[in-house]
Homo-oligomer: A and B are copies of this chain.
Amino acid sequence: MALVNEHFLKLPGNYLFADVARKVSAFKSAHKNVNVISLGTGDVTQPLAPAVVEALHKAADEMGRAETFRGYGPEQGYQFLREAIIKNDYLPRGIHLDINEVFINDGAKSDTGNIQELIRWDNSIGVTDPIYPVYLDSNSMIGRSGVKDAHDRWSNVVYFPCTAENNFVPEIPNRRVDVVYLCYPNNPTGTVISKEELRKWVNYALHNDALIFYDAAYEAYIQDPDIPHSIYEIRGARKCAIEFRSYSKTAGFTGVRCGYTIVPEEVSAATLEGKRIELNPLWLRRQCTKFNGTSYLSQRAAEAIYTPEGKEQVRKTIAYYMQNAELMLKRFRTLGYEVYGGANAPYVWMKTPHGIPSWRFFDEMLNRAHVVCTPGAGFGPSGEGYARFTAFGTHEQTEEALKRIERWF
C-alpha cells in the first residue's frame, strides 16, 4: 500500500503568497470597479534590459540553426556564465572562486528549497524570524522541523527574533544549531547585516561545526559601501557557508528564471562516525540527478547583464525601484508610521499602528485604501504586528498607493 509522506500534512495549508492572492481576488470579485494596487508580492514591474532582450533574440536564432543549436547543457551551467559570475560578482570584492564552485540554477527558490537534501533529516535548524517561508517549509516536508506547537513554532527549529526591540540584529544562539539560514539584505524586513555581525555568525558556525545557508538574493540593492555583498567577504566562510544569488530582483528575471549557488570546495559536513564529507560533489550529484540545467536562453540572458550596457541598464532599474523605497520611507514617516529597511533593500517593513495584528491591518488596508501589503505574521512569529511593502511597483502605482494610505490614515 502506497503511504503518503505525512510531513506534508503538518504544513500550513497554503503558501503565504497564495493566501494573499486569494484574499485580493475575493475582494476584487466583490468590488469590480475598484482598482487595487499591490505592494504585496515581491514581483518586479520593469521590463528586461535591452541588452538582455538582445541576448535572448540571439540565442533564439542560434537554437533555430543546426550549426549553432544547443541541446543539453552542463547540469552545473555553461562555462561562459560561471566565468562571468566569478569575474564580475566576486573578484572585484577580493573573493576567488573556482569555476566548479558555481552552480547555475533556475532561480534561488529551487536551490534554497533543495539544499537541505544534503544534510541528515534530524539536524536542527535555526532561522532569523521573520523569514522567507521556503526555508522552513522545505525542511518541514522532510520532517526536519518537527511539529508545530500552539504558538505556531516548529519544535526542531531555533528562532532568532529580529524586531524593532533588538534593532533587527539577531542574537547568536547559546545552544547547538546545526544549520543556520541567513538572508541579507533581508526579506521581509529590508534590513542588512554589518561585517562585524556577520563575522560573529561565521565564527559561531566554525566553532560549532555548523553550516550557514546564506541567501543573498537582494545584494544588488545594497547602497552603503560598508555592507557585505557576500558572506565570503568574511574570513573562514568558505569552510562553513553556501551562498545563493538570483537574477530575479537584480535584473527582473522573475519570469526568465536564472540564479546561482556557490558551494565552496572546503564546505563539509560529518558522518555519524566523524568522517568529513565535502558538500560540493554531493550537490553536483544532486543536480546531475534531479535537474537538467537551466534554459540556454536564460543563461545567455544572464550573461548579458555583465556587459557594460547590461550593467548600466540594470543599475538604472535598481535605482528606479530604490526611489520607490525612499519615497515610501519618507511618506510613511511623515504620516507617523514606524518603518524599517528600505535603504539597502527593496522592502519596507512597517510596524502596524497601535500594534494591531498583521492580517487585520492587511484586511483594513485592502478594504479601505485598496492597497495590498504582505502581513508580517505570514513570515513567522516575530513578524506579527508588522507589514511588508515592496519597492517593485511603478512610480505611479507607488505614488497613488501612498496617497490612498494617507487619505485612509
Residues of A within 8 A of B (CB): 1-6, 8-9, 11, 14-15, 18, 41, 43-48, 50, 52-53, 56-57, 60-61, 63-66, 69-73, 106-107, 109-110, 113-114, 117-123, 133-134, 137-138, 141-142, 176, 178-179, 208-211, 248, 252, 254-257, 268-272, 277, 279, 282, 285-286, 288-298, 394
Residue of B nearest to A293 (CB): B257
CB contact under 8 A between A47 and B65, given known A57-B57, A269-B4, A295-B256: yes
Contact yes or no, A107 B4, CB < 8 A: no
Contact yes or no, A60 B64, CB < 8 A: no
- Chain B residues with CB below 8 A from A110, complex form: 290-292
- Chain B residues with CB below 8 A from A279, complex form: 4
Known contacts A4-B277, A109-B292, A133-B289; 5 additional CB pairs below 8 A are A3-B122, A5-B118, A14-B285, A47-B64, A134-B290
Contact yes or no, B255 A295, CB < 8 A: yes
Contact yes or no, A46 B69, CB < 8 A: yes
Give the complex CA separation of A21 and B56 in angstroms: 29
Of the candidates B2, B282, B286, the one whose C-beta lies within 8 Å of that of A211 is B2
9 contacts between A and B (CB under 8 A): A1-B178, A4-B119, A4-B270, A14-B285, A106-B295, A113-B290, A142-B142, A248-B292, A295-B297
Give the complex CA separation of A50 and B122 in angstroms: 51
Contact yes or no, A3 B71, CB < 8 A: no
Residue of B nearest to A289 (CB): B137
Give the complex CA separation of A123 and B6 in angstroms: 12
Residue of B nearest to A143 (CB): B121
